[in-house]
C-alpha cells in the first residue's frame, strides 16, 4: 500500500478549467499526456502541451485552462498523498 504519494489521471474538457487552488503540505507534479492549454503557477501563466511536466511546490497557487480543441489529459502525482483537507480553493 502506498502511503506517501498519490497518482491520478485528470481530464479537462475543451473550453474547461480547474478551480484555482493550492496545497499547504503537498508537492505536486503534473505530466501532460495529451492536449494543450494554459497553466497558472503562482503569478505566472504559461502555455502547456502534451509531454510537458510541471512541478508545483507546496503553497503555490495553480490553475489549468484547456485552450485546445480536444481533452487536456494529465497525470497528477502528490507527495504526501492527495487529500481534500490539504486543498485550499482561492476563488480565482
Cα 55 off chain centre by: 9
Beta strand 88-89 pairing with 72-79: unpaired
Show the domains of the chain with their CATH numbers: 6-89 (2.60.120.10)
Query: What are the CA-CA distances from residue 89 to residues 2, 32, 41, 70, 80 (Å)?
Result: 26, 22, 14, 26, 18
Closest to 3 in 3D by CA, of 74, 76, 83, 59? 83
* CA dist., res. 76 & res. 74, Å (int): 6
- Digit-by-digit pLDDT tens for the chain (92 residues) are 777 999 999 999 999 999 999 999 999 999 999 999 999 999 999 999 999 999 999 999 999 999 999 999 999 999 999 999 999 999 87
Report the pLDDT value the prediction gives residue 3, as an integer from 0 to 100.
79
Amino acid at each position: 500500500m502506498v502511503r506517501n504519494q498519490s497518482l491520478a489521471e485528470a481530464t479537462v474538457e475543451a473550453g474547461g478549467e480547474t478551480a484555482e487552488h493550492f496545497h499547504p503540505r503537498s508537492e505536486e507534479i503534473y505530466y501532460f499526456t495529451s492536449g494543450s492549454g494554459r497553466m497558472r503557477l503562482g503569478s505566472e501563466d504559461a502555455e502547456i502541451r502534451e509531454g510537458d511536466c510541471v512541478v508545483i511546490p507546496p503553497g503555490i497557487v495553480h490553475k489549468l485552462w484547456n485552450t485546445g480543441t480536444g481533452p487536456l489529459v494529465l497525470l497528477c502525482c502528490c507527495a504526501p498523498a492527495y487529500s481534500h483537507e490539504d486543498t485550499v480553493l482561492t476563488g480565482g
